[in-house]
Amino acid sequence: MMDILNNLTLGFGVALTPMNLLYCLFGVTLGTLIGVLPGIGPIATIAMLLPVTFGLPAVGALIMLAGIYYGAQYGGSTTAILINIPGEASAAVTCLDGYAMARQGRAGPALAIAAMGSFFAGCVATIIVALFAPPLAEVALKFWAAEYFSLMLLGLVSATVLARGSLLKAIAMVILGLLLGLVGTDVTSGTLRFTFGIAEFSDGIGFVAVAMGLFGFAEVIVNLTQGGKREVLTSKISGLMPTRADLKTSWKAVLRGTGLGSLLGILPGGGALLSSFASYTLEKRLAAVPSRFGKGAIEGVAGPEAANNAGAQTSFIPMLTLGIPSNAVMALMLGAMMIQGIAPGPQVIDKLPQLFWGMIASMWMGNIMLLVINLPLIGIWVRMLTMPYQMLYPAILLFCCIGAYSINYSSVDVLSTAGFGLLGYIFYILDCEPAPLLLGFILGPMMEESLRRAMLISQGDPTVFFTRPISLAMLIGAALLLLLVIVPAARKKREEVFRE
Amino acid sequence: MGPGYFPFVLGGLLAVLGLVVAALALRRTREAIRPWALRPLVLVLGAVVGFAILLQPVGLVLSTLILIVISRLAGWEFRIREVLFLCLLLTAMTVGLFVYGLGLPLNLWFRGSVP
């Protein structure tokens, strides 16, 4: 206990320096902004800002990027409630009851309960990260190459099982990502792989190019094909405060959402999106009168909004302690760490305590900032909603282009980003989720290295993965997860959860 | 374990998965793939490719303007005044933020000219 207090003091010392407060404020404000603006999400934004983080100190860069992710969870609910379009994918379920409340003239209480629920969940999740990450890292420090390989396999399998859409396609996307991650010079032998004679690829495909192309450019193209106008319910915000009855019906939903979100955030493949969907389903199940849902039930806003914020923050646990990304945003955070020259893994907490504890303290500061940014200043964000997408997307494209160029001052990077934009659009046409590909891309080189090391230590004996108990347990876990999805009953359940 | 081992295994798995997906698609009732929207695809990616090619020879300002105009053609309702406003605003922001603010070594105009 004393340890944690000491560590948190260290963390607040880092987070409260003026520069880091500024990075945090910038991150959460930008997060709220892109959360509010439909058509641009945290993945594209973080990808866009990656080149900028080259010049920042590591702690500041990560504080800012983290702020964007959980800030977007706050902002996303505003759009969902006011215009029935999720500003951020995880706010999709908030549309159902939040928009219904807005149509009844109760947009104010819906916005307030979303922000307060998110704040409560954010505070709890921060404590959970502080409590559980260090012991988990300690366990992980004892892992050998074999355990690491099996852990990554388990992580990728559960990420595909929990992803939306076809399981087969998700696995194929992971494998494609792993392969793309292997492009470039092989570290062990120095052989060039899959470079097709292009000199720029000998260092591997740029992480920024993949992320910006798949999530930035492809998203812009998809949004432009859908087009459309939006109707904003701004005139109907009168009085933010929820009534006593609202609070009474929603506090339990907030508690349940926080618990569920914190748990699902830690699982690989989890995070904000899954948490909010699961919480909505749970609230509907538990409700005395389930038919109220979809017609303005406040629990249907409170639960998922708390859950997505909790999930967004606890998904940092596997990323920081194991170096395993649980979703696409965490893959980007890992990318940002590698850009800064930090090798991800369980040693990060011990070796860079100011980074780890500084980030945790900044999350708590960020949640306070977000409460202020989102409640009293809600009027400003509502005005942002009227900003037409056609004014926005040329700016997105421009910043992506300059960002991609500035990595190596090379046009080839911009061209390969455009290539991944095309690929991303093809994936959209074929209904393939690009997120698993990004996870594979990050893990590809690490997985190959631990596979090789494990085989080297065992002198070429592949049974090493089955004779070491922790490794075996993780492989069995991965196999069970796959079986679970293939069994028809469970598959039906999975589809049901994602449809709602 | 040579450099080809892991890619070979992955490639094999991917090929098998591809066959399974294809076989399932043939057996099931036809599920239409989404229609291509060529206009935004070509214009958006064209604008980006144009920017990449033009940036070094003609400089940041002109290539930014070209990127904005071409990409803006991909949207709906091309209003001249709105596009002019976008051009002014974004070019000023780009030059101010990236060249003067972050100090990126980008030439503003044609190659060789003084920024």
HSE, CB side, 13 Å, CA atoms: give it for residue A23. Answer: 25
The answer to whether the Cβ–Cβ distance between B68 and A394 falls below 8 Å is yes
At residue B75, the 3 state secondary structure works out as: coil
pLDDT of residue A489 exceeding 60, the answer is no
DSSP state of A289: S
Contact A188 B3 (CB under 8 A): yes
Cβ separation A411–B55 shorter than 8 A:
yes
Please give the ipTM for the structure prediction: 0.90
In this complex, is the C-beta atom of A235 within 8 Å of any C-beta atom belonging to chain B?
Answer: no
pLDDT tens digits, one per residue of A149-175? 998 898 888 888 777 678 888 899 999
The residue-averaged pLDDT of A244-257 equals 87
Burial classification of residue A384, based on how many CB atoms lie within 10 Å of its CB (0-12 exposed, 13-18 middle, 19 or more buried): middle
B57 touches chain A (CB under 8 A): no
Residue type, A336: A
Give mean pLDDT, residues B29-34.
71
Q: What ranges do the domains of chain A cover? A: 2-499
Nearest-Cα distance to chain B for A171, in Å, is 8
Residue range B92-113: average pLDDT?
A: 79
Residue A281: pLDDT band (50, 70, 90) is confident
Nearest to A217 among B2, B48, B52 (CB): B48
Distance from CA of B110 to the nearest CA of A (A): 16
Q: Hey, are the CB atoms on B17 and A168 less than 8 Å from each other?
A: yes
C-alpha separations of B81 from B78, B85, B87 in Å = 9, 6, 10
| One-letter amino acid of A88 | E
Q: Does B32 touch chain A (CB under 8 A)?
A: no
User: What Rg value do the Cα atoms of chain B yield, rounded?
Assistant: 23
Provide the shortest C-alpha distance from residue A425 to chain B (in Å).
Answer: 8
Q: How confident is the model at residue B114 (pLDDT cuts 50, 70, 90)?
A: very low
Convert the pLDDT of each residue in A349-387 to its tens digit: 888 889 999 999 999 999 999 988 888 888 888 777 777
Q: Does B76 touch chain A (CB under 8 A)?
A: yes
Question: How large a percentage of chain A has pLDDT more than 70?
Answer: 94
Provide the b/e sequence for A43-78 (b: ≥16 CB within 10 Å).
Answer: bbbbbbbbbbbeebebbbbbbbbbbbbbbbbbbbbb
Residue B95 in this model has a pLDDT that exceeds 70: yes
Contacts of A176 in chain B (CB under 8 A): 14
Q: What does the domain layout of chain B look like in residue ranges?
A: 1-33, 38-101
* Average pLDDT score over residue span A479-499: 70
Instruction: Tell me the average pLDDT across A194-204.
Output: 82
Minimum-distance CB partner of A168 among B21, B40, B76: B21
| For residues A422-450, average pLDDT | 90
Q: Which of A172, A390, A429 sits opposite B75 (nearest CB)?
A: A390
Least CB-CB distance to A398: which of B1, B14, B90?
Answer: B90
**Structure token pair of residue A58:** 């590591």
Residue A258: predicted pLDDT:
94
Q: Which residues of A touch B44 (CB under 8 A)?
A: 217, 220-221, 224, 397, 421
**pLDDT classification of B63: cutoffs 50, 70, 90:** very high
Question: Does the pLDDT value for residue B84 go beyond 50?
Answer: yes
Could you say which residues from 93 to 112 on chain B have a Cβ atom under 8 Å away from some Cβ of chain A?
93-94, 98, 102, 104-106
Average pLDDT over residues A119-126: 92
Under DSSP, is residue A447 helix (H, G, I), strand (E, B) or coil? helix
Partner-chain residue, chosen from A52, A191, A421, that has the shortest CB–CB distance to B45: A421
CA A283 to the chain's CA centroid: 23
Find the range with the poorest average confidence among A344-358, A426-440, B27-41.
B27-41
Q: Is B16 on the interface with A (CB under 8 A)?
A: no
Q: Does A395 touch chain B (CB under 8 A)?
A: yes
Examine the pLDDT at A285 and tell me if it is beyond 70: yes
Q: Write down the mean pLDDT value for chain B.
A: 85
User: Cβ–Cβ of B21/A425 closer than 8 Å?
Assistant: no
Quote the pLDDT of residue B115: 44
More confident residue, B32 or A84: A84
Assess B80–A contact: CB distance below 8 Å, yes or no: no
Chain B residue numbers with beta carbons less than 8 Å from the beta carbon of A227 are 76
pLDDT at B102: 76
* Nearest by CB: B14 against A176, A394, A455: A176
Choose between A22 and A248: higher pLDDT.
A22
> What pLDDT does B21 receive?
86
∠ CA A408-A411-A414 to the nearest 5 degrees? Answer: 90
The pLDDT assigned to A500 comes to 52
Mean pLDDT, all residues of chain A: 85
Alpha-carbon gap, residue A431 to B35, rounded angstroms = 11
Q: What pLDDT score does A482 carry?
A: 85
Q: Check CB contact of A406 with chain B, cutoff 8 Å.
A: yes
Residue A185: its chain B contacts at CB < 8 A? none
**pLDDT for A32-81, tens place per residue?**
988 888 777 888 889 888 888 888 899 999 999 999 988 888 888 888 88
- From the number of C-beta atoms within 10 Å of its C-beta (0-12, 13-18, 19+), residue A353 rates as middle
Partners of A185 in beta bridges: A192
What is the per-residue pLDDT across A337-346, written as a single tens digit (0 to 9) for each? Answer: 988 888 888 8
